Every structure is written in structure tokens, then in C-alpha cells.
Structure 1
Amino acid sequence: MSNKNVELMRGEPEIAVRKLAIPIMISMLLTASYNIVDGIWVAGLGQAAIAGIGFVTPIFMILNGFSVGLGNGATSSISRSVGAKNRERASKSAAHSLLIFLAASIVLTLTLLIIQEPVLKTYGASGQSLTEALKYGTPMFLGLFAFMFANGGSGILRGEGDMKRAMYAMIVSVALNFILDPIFIYVLNLGSAGASLATIVSSLGAAIVIIYWILIKKDTYVNVTFKGFKFDSEIARDILKVGIPASLDMFVMSIAMSFYLMFISSVGGEYGIAAFTSGQRLYLFGIMPLTAIASAVAAVSGSAFGARNWDYLSRTHTYGTKFAMLVSIVILLILVIFAPQLSMIFAYTPETAPLIPEITSFLRIASFGLLLVGIGMPSSFFYQGIGRGTTSLAWTIIRELIFTVGFTYLFGIVLNWGLTGIWVGLAVGRIIASILNFTYARYTIRKLKSVLN
């Protein structure tokens, strides 16, 4: 079966990264709009609702992280098979991935429902903010399977270079979320719970579309069938050796987020948490294009690695970092210049208006971390592409838990700079770690060339 996406993956790496990154970028910006749209509507519920959802954020990162991480495992396994021109193995990887998504959904749903309240209290949630957090979190965790199959299924499509249809599925999902948010939150008077229910139903829409393409319409490069299916532990390990570390990336970041929340709560209380939650939504929205470029780097790197084309492998990483750096500068300028106006998106009521100065401060300080995240993120995804998920995880630990948590504690708590110090720590930690990550990635590529040629 001829597949233009597969041929693109095997062709000139610069063209492949650029063409694959654009639809991924659109998809991820649409995904990030979930949080933006939720934040806009939830802002009308008051500061306690904003803070409550902020307390759920680290747990939600675990939920979303496992779905994206396992999807990355599928992408890596399938793309390496595509590079090696082994369609049968790519199809088996896709089938095993779907079963892994199902098993992970069941286990994580039960776990998150059990731990959510004690964990929320550990973060500092109490009173009305705890009530709002539980109202938002419980439906979200019950609907985890929707995220798992939407994000995981997108990973399968990315593995064969089919970024456009992953984007189309996301357009369906975002459109549903845009329509359902005000209906669930205000018309049905479900409040914070309505925001999470709208997100779940919307994600389910994307999952259904993707699964239809893979299992029913069957017009993908991978040919997934469960008739006569035989479990292959080697293929499962190949998916999980990237999928589990990639999933733990988000787990590590959620741990780091927990520290940030504790630091912020200790120096800024509910006000600081609400400001951080609102500013972080914009930061995460801004970082989506960089994640998209990095995802394209992972897919093209996997194909080059499978084909044992070390020149293409090096060019993929080099071009990806240059592309991401250029985009990161544009995003930084937007966030810094228009910080007051952007802050008003989440502080448009009389009750939340006092948050505007602190959200503005967050954007104008913490966003400077984006300057060099553009070289760090493609490097982390490059490791995933070549099947070295544990290396990617190690750099996430170094960046978030060692450098960023360390610097936020130093500036915010030890030096007593308060919220400003925490915002400075977020930027400084990520900049230093990104430089080191990029340097190690270049070393890894040189070593691969010398050892495996």
C-alpha cells in the first residue's frame, strides 16, 4: 500500500520535520485550548474554583502524561518499523499499543480515584477550594479512557506520519468542548464538574474518530486486526521501554508542580495559586508549538534510526532545534509584550481582577525559560524517537526536580523573594537544564555514528 506520509518520513529530514510539525502544532494548540476555554468559563465561578482546578493540575498531568507517554511509545516503535520498511511489525506494534491503552486506563482510573483527595490536601487544598477540586477531578478521572485512546491513538497515527488526521480528530474534539463548556457549567449548573465533563465528552469524540479510522475504515498504513492475535512480549517491551519513561516524564513534572504549589501556597496563599494557575495555562499554551516540533523530531528520528541513516538522524535533531528556537522567540515576545491583556482572559470579573498584576508578572518572568526550552525539548523527544526513553526521563528529572525545583526554592523561599523569586526560578532552572540536554544529545549522535556505522 502506497502511503505518502510514510514516504515523507523516509525522505529529507528537514522537509519531514517541517511538514509533520505544522499539523501536530495545530493539534496541540487545539488541545491546549481545552485549558484556555475551561479557564475562561471557570473564571466566572470565582477565585476558589480557579484555585481548586489549579490544585488538580498536577494529578491531571499524570493522567494526561500517561496517555501521551504511551502514545509516544507507540510512535517510536511504529516509526522505527517504518524506517526499517517492516509494515508487519508496525501493524503489530499498533495492535499491542491499543491493548496497552485499555489496560492502563483501568489501572490508572482506579488509582487516581483513590489517591485524589489525600493528595489534594497535601498540596494545601482545603475548604471551598478542596470542594471545587474534587468536583472537577472526579469526572476527569472517571473519563480517563477517553484521553488514553485519543492521545494514544494520535500516537499511532504519528508513528506512520499521518499528522493531518490526528489534527482533524482534535478539531472535532475542540469544537465539542467549545460548545459543551458553557452548557455544562452554567446552563446545567454543574459548575467545575461541568468543565471536566465537557472535556471528557470532547476527548471521547476524538477517540471514536481515530479508532474508526484504524479498526473499521482501515485506511491507515498499519493494518490492525485482532483476529488470531498473539501477544508478543518483545513488541510490548519495545513500546513500553519508551512509553513508560515518557509517561513518567509527566509524573515527574507533576511532582515538580506539587513543589511549586507548596512553595507558592506558603508565600502567596490562594491568591498566588490562582495567579500561577492562570499564568501557567498561557505558558503551557505557548509551549505547545515547541512540543509539536519535538514530536515531529521524535517521529523522523525514529524512522532515520530504523533505517540506520545517521546523517538524517543528525540533521533531524539540528533542524528541529533551530526551528523550535525560532518559534520560541516569537512566543516569548507575544507573552511578554501582551502579558497584561492576556492576563485579563482569566481575570475579567471584579473578584478576579486583582490577579492581573501577578499573572502579568508570571508571564514576563517565567516565560523567559522558553528562550532555550526550544533546544531542550527536541533533544528529549529525540531520545524517545531512537528508543531511549529512560534517557529522556533522566533529563526530565534533571530539568524539573533538580534545576527548576531547586532554583524556585532558592529564589522564592531561601532568598525570600516571594512569588517573584519562584517565577525567576522557573525560568533559570529550565534554561540551564535545556543547554545541558542539547549538549548531551549532540554527544549521543556523535557516539551513534562512530559506534554503529
Structure 2
Amino acid sequence: MSNKNSELIEKNPKKAIKELAIPILILNVIITMYNVVDGIWISGISEAAIVAVGTLIPSFSILTGISGGIGMGTTSAIGYYIGAKDRKNTILGVKNATFIFFILTVIMTIIFLVVLKPLLISYSLSGEAIREGLNYGIPLFGCSFTFIFSAGIFGMYRACGETKKPLYALGIGFILNALLDPVFIYVFNLGVLGAAISSVLTSLLGVIILGYWLFIKKTIYPDYDDYKFKFDTHIIKRILDVGIPSAIEIFLIVVAASILIYFTQLAGDDQAVAIHTLGYRLYQILLIPISSLCATLVIVVSNSFGAKNFNNIKKSFKYVCKITFCFGLVNMLIVLVFAPQLSLVYLFTTGSAGLIPKISLFLRIIIFQGLSKGFYSFIWTFTREFVLVLFFTYFLGFIMNWGLIGIWIGIFVGKSSSTIFCYLYANYYINNKLNEELSEED
């Protein structure tokens, strides 16, 4: 991290959060717009295409989520060494993280290509939807290295507070994706295959640009060549200590989402899955500011932890929790009033127009869970997604026989009920346990 960013975090963590969060927010908007553009063009193909892509979203989220979790561990580890002013381990952290992402790419690509078809069949989809799923999934998962290494490089950039270069690279990629999507999908008549090809090509472009700045021009870590690669178990452990729990948390969330899609299919049909999928995409757009603040918090906290600055950790946590809670309230009000208008973002085709009132209802119920995005922890993720959410969705949807409405209400009730307990525990940990751990680090 630059001396300017390190000094700002040390002197004024709240101001640092504000300054770092804005470019990260813009970056997340661009990333999300990739999905928005794909969703808009795919919705014009057929309902089977919407269902197929929607069914694979949880699987693709596992891929990007696990790599994103390790990327967050990379940010935390490198940020720690930057805060401790340890140049050698900072560079070795970058090199060891690169090695981890190479191994991760090999493993993840093989796994997802093997399970793709059985996974689609397990959802009891129509034959057309399964074919569309294969057309979309094979190129996407076959070229997973582009998405996995994106997460790794982003983690390295975030650690040093550098956000402008990722913005440039992703901005170019987004514009190119918006132009290539309709060409591949409609002009070349490739359908969902075209959407997948466009996503892979534009993601690859971003990796090439950012990798060039990072590893060849060395504009982020100028002393990159000063230390040769050495497999360091201590650095690997520091990366994975954060990365593995983060990856497992995201994995659990996605697995739970897959089960919810299965519940939705049982309670409804392919159209119900399309409603659930498109509604969740719109919902995730509204969560971008909250996700951006959480990513910023990791940067500030990891740097402060390396510098043994307990007060900055405490201030940063409370500050971000207050802001995210306010964003949750604003999102709730926006959706309650403008749900039909938000639904039109995707459903611009005549064939899909009938889904608007149903997606509006889904959004109005599900938006309340936005208040639970203050922070992540493994135990609360498991409790929220697998204990409370699945219990309430199954109970209300099937035991109480409320159908789709019961499933959507169950999502809200399960996630919201865990939020209070989650925040109380985090607040207790920071005020009573963290200071002891910082002392032990000395």
C-alpha cells in the first residue's frame, strides 16, 4: 500500500474508508453490470435460456466465490505485511498467492466440468433448458482461469489500496462485453453460447491488462524482483486462515441458494425459477454499496492489524456497520415503492412481460435481508443459511403450504433473525477478545 494510504488509515480510518470505498463501489458496479448486460440480452433469447443461466448462477458463484474468498485472504495477508512495514513478506505474499491461484484453477476447472451435466439434470429441468445450460456452462467453466485469476489480482491490488487501474481494465472490458454480447448472441446466432464467449473474452482482457501492470511493468509493487519466490508455509497459512473460511462461507451461501432454487422448482415451475433468478439479480445490484464498504473494511482492518492499532479496528467496524444499516433501510424503501419499475430492467421483451408483477412481489419480500450485510463470519453464515433460512423456507413453503410466497418470506425471516445475534457477537468480540489477540501477536 502507498505511504499515503497507510498514513491515512493510521490517522483517520473513517476518512480512509470513505476515500477507498468510492473507487471500490465503482469497481463493483462495473462487475455487476457485466451480469446485468448478460441478463438483458439472455432474457431476449427464451425462457429456457433464462432458466438455464439462472440455474448455473449458484455454481458459477461458487467458482467466483471461492476464488474471491482466497482473494480476500490475499488482501488481508498482504495488507497485514504492508501495515507491519515488512517489504519482503509483502512481495513473497504476492508470489505465494499467485501460486495458490494457479493450483486453484486446475482443481476448480476439472471439478466443474465433471459435475456440470449431472448438476443440470438434478434440477429436473426441461430438455431444452439442460441443453442451454451445457451451451453456457462448458465454455464458462472451461475457461475458469480468467475469473479465478481476476479475483487473485484484485486481491493484490486491494491490499495496497490501488483501485484506479482495476477500474480502467474493467471499464474497457465492460464496454467490450456490452458490444460483443448482442453480436455473439444474435448476429452470429450463438445464443447463450455467445454470452459465455463474450464473458470469457472480456474477463481475459482484464486479466492480461492488470497482470501486465502487476508482473511486467511492476507499477504496483516496484520491488517485485527483489525477492525470489519461496514457498512460505507461514505466508500461505496467513492467506488461507482468512481465505478458506471466506471461501467456505460463500460456498455455503451458494449451496443454500441452490437448495432454495430446488425448493422454488418444487413449489412452482421453470417460470418460478426465472422469477427467483431475475429478482435476486436485481436485489444484488442494490447491495453493491454495502458489499463495497465491507471490502473496504477488510483493507483498513488488515492494515491496522499489522500495525497493532486496536482503536482503528474498533472505529472502522462500528462506522461501517452504521453506514451499511442506513443503506439497508434506503434499499428497502426503494424496492417497496419502485419494485415494478426495477423489474423492467431485465424484462424488456414481450414474452417476459408477464413476470413483472411476480418479480415485484419477490423483491418487496426479499429486500429486507439487506440489513444483514454488515460483516461475514463462518459460524453465522452456516447458522443463517443452513439452519434458519432453510428451516423457515421449508416450514412456510411446504409445511404451512404457502408455496412460493412462503419460500420468499422464509428467506427474509431466516436471514433477518440471525442478523441481531450476529452483530451482538461481533461487537462483543471486538470489545473483549480482539485486544487480547493483538497483545498475543506481540
Bin of the TM-score, shorter chain as denominator length: over 0.9
Give, in whole Å, the separation in 1 of the partners of 2:419 and 2:218.
40
1:445 and 2:433 equivalent? no
Aligned to 1:418: 403
Deviations 1:61-92 (A, max 9, x none): 11111221111010010111122111221111
Task: Please give the residue correspondences for 1:93-108 in structure 2 after superposition, counting only pairs within 5 Å.
Answer: 93-108=93-108
User: Helix, strand or coil: the match of 2:332?
Assistant: helix
User: Helix, strand or coil: the match of 1:22?
Assistant: helix
Aligned to 1:364: 364
The one-letter amino acid paired with 1:246 is S
User: Helix, strand or coil: the match of 1:219?
Assistant: coil
Give, in whole Å, the separation in 2 of the partners of 1:451 and 1:5.
25
User: Helix, strand or coil: the match of 2:269?
Assistant: helix
Give, in whole Å, the separation in 2 of the partners of 1:282 and 1:23.
21
Give, in whole Å, the separation in 1 of the partners of 2:192 and 2:259.
24
- 341-350 vs 94-103, which moves further: 341-350
User: Helix, strand or coil: the match of 2:209?
Assistant: helix
Identity of aligned residues (%): 39
Aligned to 2:229: 229
Are the aligned partners of 1:215 and 1:225 in contact in 2 as well (CA < 8 Å)? Answer: no
Aligned to 2:385: 400
Cα distance change of structure 1 residues 451 and 103 upon mapping to structure 2, 3 Å threshold = closer
Give, in whole Å, the separation in 2 of the partners of 1:251 and 1:379.
16
Aligned to 1:378: 374
Aligned to 1:169: 169
Deviations 1:157-185 (A, max 9, x none): 11111123222222122112111111111
User: Helix, strand or coil: the match of 2:344?
Assistant: helix
Give, in whole Å, the separation in 1 of the partners of 2:210 and 2:3.
18
The one-letter amino acid paired with 2:391 is G
Give, in whole Å, the separation in 1 of the partners of 2:244 and 2:205.
26
1:22 and 2:22 equivalent? yes
Give, in whole Å, the separation in 1 of the partners of 2:93 and 2:227.
15
Give, in whole Å, the separation in 2 of the partners of 1:300 and 1:349.
44
Give, in whole Å, the separation in 1 of the partners of 2:417 and 2:110.
38
Aligned to 2:416: 431
Aligned to 1:55: 55
Cα distance change of structure 1 residues 79 and 451 upon mapping to structure 2, 3 Å threshold = closer
Aligned to 1:90: 90
Task: Please give the residue correspondences for 1:121-136 in structure 2 after superposition, counting only pairs within 5 Å.
Answer: 121-136=121-136
Give, in whole Å, the separation in 2 of the partners of 1:114 and 1:226.
41
Aligned to 2:276: 276
Aligned to 2:44: 44
Deviation at 1:378, TM superposition (A): 3.4
Give, in whole Å, the separation in 2 of the partners of 1:87 and 1:319.
30
Aligned to 1:290: 290
Aligned to 1:12: 12
The one-letter amino acid paired with 1:138 is I
Give, in whole Å, the separation in 1 of the partners of 2:426 and 2:390.
23
Aligned to 1:157: 157
Deviations 1:9-56 (A, max 9, x none): 433111111111111111111111111111110111111110111110
Cα distance change of structure 1 residues 2 and 438 upon mapping to structure 2, 3 Å threshold = closer
Deviation at 1:221, TM superposition (A): 4.0
Deviation at 1:452, TM superposition (A): 4.0
The one-letter amino acid paired with 1:317 is F
Gaps of 5+ in 2: none
Aligned to 1:77: 77
Give, in whole Å, the separation in 2 of the partners of 1:173 and 1:151.
15
Deviations 1:200-243 (A, max 9, x none): 11111211121111111112147434973221111112111211
User: Helix, strand or coil: the match of 1:346?
Assistant: coil
Cα distance change of structure 1 residues 9 and 207 upon mapping to structure 2, 3 Å threshold = farther
Deviation at 1:422, TM superposition (A): 1.3
TM-score, scaled relative to structure 2: 0.95
Are the aligned partners of 1:314 and 1:445 in contact in 2 as well (CA < 8 Å)? Answer: yes
The one-letter amino acid paired with 1:448 is L
Deviation at 1:352, TM superposition (A): 1.3
Are the aligned partners of 1:399 and 1:433 in contact in 2 as well (CA < 8 Å)? Answer: yes
The one-letter amino acid paired with 1:214 is L
The one-letter amino acid paired with 1:401 is F
Are the aligned partners of 2:2 and 2:161 in contact in 1 as well (CA < 8 Å)? Answer: no
Give, in whole Å, the separation in 1 of the partners of 2:404 and 2:226.
54
Aligned to 2:120: 120
Are the aligned partners of 2:340 and 2:356 in contact in 1 as well (CA < 8 Å)? Answer: yes
Deviations 1:386-438 (A, max 9, x none): xxxxxx22222122111222221122122111111111111121112222211
User: Helix, strand or coil: the match of 2:351?
Assistant: coil
Give, in whole Å, the separation in 2 of the partners of 1:259 and 1:110.
23
Task: Please give the residue correspondences for 1:247-326 in structure 2 after superposition, counting only pairs within 5 Å.
Answer: 247-326=247-326
The one-letter amino acid paired with 1:407 is F
Gaps of 5+ in 1: 381-391
Give, in whole Å, the separation in 2 of the partners of 1:67 and 1:171.
21
Aligned to 2:205: 205
Give, in whole Å, the separation in 2 of the partners of 1:321 and 1:396.
17
Give, in whole Å, the separation in 1 of the partners of 2:87 and 2:224.
11
Are the aligned partners of 1:407 and 1:426 in contact in 2 as well (CA < 8 Å)? Answer: yes
Give, in whole Å, the separation in 1 of the partners of 2:202 and 2:11.
35
The one-letter amino acid paired with 2:375 is S
TM-score, scaled relative to structure 1: 0.93
Deviation at 1:316, TM superposition (A): 0.7
Deviation at 1:350, TM superposition (A): 2.5
Aligned to 1:352: 352
Are the aligned partners of 1:80 and 1:304 in contact in 2 as well (CA < 8 Å)? Answer: yes
Are the aligned partners of 1:32 and 1:285 in contact in 2 as well (CA < 8 Å)? Answer: yes
